[in-house]
Chains A and B, each alone.
Chain A
Amino acid sequence: MSAQMEFWLYLYFPQLQLDKLVVLHSNSSTTTASSDKDKSHHLDLTAPLAIVGADHQLLQLNSAARQAGLALGMGLASAASLCHQLQLVPHNVGQEQQQLQQLAQLLYQYCGDIALQANSGLVLKLSPMLALYGGAMQFWQQIQQVLQQAGYQYHFATAQQPLVARLLAQQHWDQFLLQSDKIQQQLKALPLQHAQLPNKLQEQLQRLGLAQLGDVLKIPQAELVRRFGVEMLQYLQQLTGTKPALLQFIQPAEHFEQQLELLYEMERSDQLLGPLQHLFGLLQLYLQQRDQLAYQLELCLLQRQEQQQQLQLHSAQGEYQSKDWLKISELQLERLKLKKPVIQLKLILRRAGPRYAQYKTLFAGHLGAGKAQLYSALQLLSLLQARLGKDQVTSPCLHNDLLPEQASRYAAALEPQAAIAGTLVAVRPAFLVDPPLALDTEQQHQLQLHYGPERLSSGWWLQQSQHRDYYVGQNAQGQWLWLFRDLQQPEQLYLQGYFS
């Protein structure tokens, strides 16, 4: 093999949709032990099962269906007469395309040039990668490992031209070879009906008595083109690689948006955690590849009768690991009441940012020494917000105002605030009553005042001037109160706060 030669690997996935069902089923049966009642909704994957196309032909079969004597391409009528308990699932082209896209993203980690092909195929450009991996076999082992984890059946072939690799892979050649003579030999033996020639051409060639592709290749190209025209020329160019193939290589996705069809309707929110884990796994992969952290996710629960509920998941610190997101979503799902059974999940990444190293003090101060952190402050905040609600977790903040009820407010949790110049006054209680409470005359007579007055005059530069005298007093129960008297109505005492 010379270094300049281009090599392509074609991966053909014959039954994406069926394999996906199997993968999902094995996931859900390990995570949630479903009751017998639930099972009636399930497809039984050990019994004969077929994926049916729009033209009522069987496209994908499981092994039980094959044993029952069914074959691919069979019509529905003959299939039903052979095996009457056959379970049918309509073919979903969009879903398969999405799976293929996912697979391509998965493989992008290991191979730079990947193109999606019609008819459930991926074509990978090998030649630039071989130098990186130090050999073809190492590279192939890596790819095989990924494919095995994904759990799909696949067939493959290598060749110097993408078209040749495709023809051989779809014939289930399953050889990872970089010797062009063996590949050519295999190609020449390919029967013409599998050569993916345009129908008319194929018919014409067969009428000439040509049975294999090798017979066609023996004839000089110029002769063939003169007789069969431009279509033949294009085909031959692709086959021999004289003209480079037009391929659109995938780019890593810019957005993360994944959907997951549930196997059966889920009525309890805790059942959703199994499928969610799968989605968060995809998210983790996405984030790891980009070295990012997710701060905000949106989870749509699509329900029966086209209803949907949405959840916003937040993490103040930013997480990428699926287990952390699972913990946050678990807390939110606990609070959620499902209006209708859920049939589909959709996870969208709303906000992400680059991942920084998280610094931790090695030698903390006097008290923090040796303190093992289970959660950082921001992680803790996210968990608290997930369970209690975002507006129930706040930090106090100080506003530049003289009136105590205006000065003390609440702000978003754990956000550093601008410092306010000025000295702090001496006497302030821990708790404030907002709005101030007017005391009745009996309560006023039981009071004992200990300290005061402290006069606050505020708002005179606006139309709403306030002049108050503040006192510290004790009521009949011995509680320490912070009271004020408005100078406009000096008989009335107001309760402003509690010393504690």
Chain B
Amino acid sequence: MNALLQQLQNRQLIWQASQTEAPYEHCQSTGFSALDKLLGGGWPQHNVIELQSHGACAELQLIQKALAGSGSELLQIWINPPANLCAEYLLQQKRPLHQVLQLNAPRSADALWAAELCLKSGSCMDVLLWQNNLNLTQLKRLQLAAAQGQSQLYFFRPAIAEQQLLPWALSLQLTPATTGLQIRILKRKGGWQQQEVLLPWAELYPHFIKPELGQERYSRPPLSRVS
């Protein structure tokens, strides 16, 4: 190694591919083997995860196993969800209703404040936040709060054309396709980005799509079933 390289190395300006460590310290399996493989184990723990989509395309289904794994002693917080929560759905997920809090915060500053407080309180496990914009400082604060309180923030955001460069631990873009959900990694700590996987709908919604029947049901016109 020549002197210049040595000098640069001493000043820690050189990054070597051999130094890459495992991207996340703790992972929680997503319950979908294809997605686990894509993410290198599963959801990173005690961090902030961004899920970009235009809604209603199985984004909660993806994190459902992680939420169920959090146990029911600690609170689950939903901040500004896009519509009313369905109590029966939550009970299906084995979640006691009095351990769920829904917060409505019309001002985005309030919503972020509440998310940060819940994350660092230590009495919540998962915080689900619907919000449009976030800047670097706000993200850093949320990440620190999540690490401090050992909790997890799922950040739901509408898909946007212009990509900001934010240091997410993990950022996914979810696009519905005809056969399944297209999942693209926008940003992943310590990993390659721009990888994709397609999860079939039958795997995401097993309780109402039977794989073998799936094909014929697609062809049926909507009004033909009722006479």
Contact = CB atoms under 8 A, between A and B. Distances in A.
Contacts of B125: 367
A452 interface: yes
Given A380-B75, A431-B81, A431-B85, A500 B176 contact: no
Given A408-B87, A477-B54, A384 B114 contact: yes
Contact of B124 (A380, A387, A430): A380
Contact of B110 (A387, A472, A499): A387
Contact of A380 (B113, B121, B150): B121
B114 A377 contact: no
Interface string A365-386: 1111011111111011101100
A424 B100 contact: no
Nearest to B71: A367
A396 B208 contact: no
B50 interface: no
Nearest to B224: A449
Given A380-B123, A410-B102, A424-B92, A366 B222 contact: no
Interface in A384-404: 384, 387-388, 392-398, 404
Interface stretch (A38-46, A143-151, A187-195, A440-448): A440-448
Interface string B145-186: 000111000000000000000000000000111100000000
Interface residues of B, number: 66
A162 to B, nearest CB: 55
Contacts, number: 204
B209 interface: yes
Contact of A430 (B86, B218, B220, B226): B86
B134 interface: no
B76 to A, nearest CB: 10
Contacts of B71: 365-368
Interface stretch (B34-42, B57-65, B191-199): B57-65
Interface stretch (A165-173, A223-231, A236-244, A414-422): A414-422
A333 interface: no
B172 to A, nearest CB: 15
A473 interface: yes
A480 interface: yes
A449 B223 CA distance: 9
A450 B87 contact: no
Contacts of A379: 121, 123
B210 to A, nearest CB: 9
10 contacts: A367-B125, A368-B73, A374-B120, A375-B121, A428-B92, A449-B222, A453-B225, A478-B178, A480-B57, A500-B56
Interface of A: 364-368, 370-377, 379-381, 383-384, 387-388, 392-398, 404, 407-410, 413-417, 424-434, 444-445, 447-453, 469, 471-474, 477-481, 485, 490-491, 493, 497-500
4 tightest A-B CB contacts, nearest first: A478-B176, A479-B56, A431-B83, A451-B208
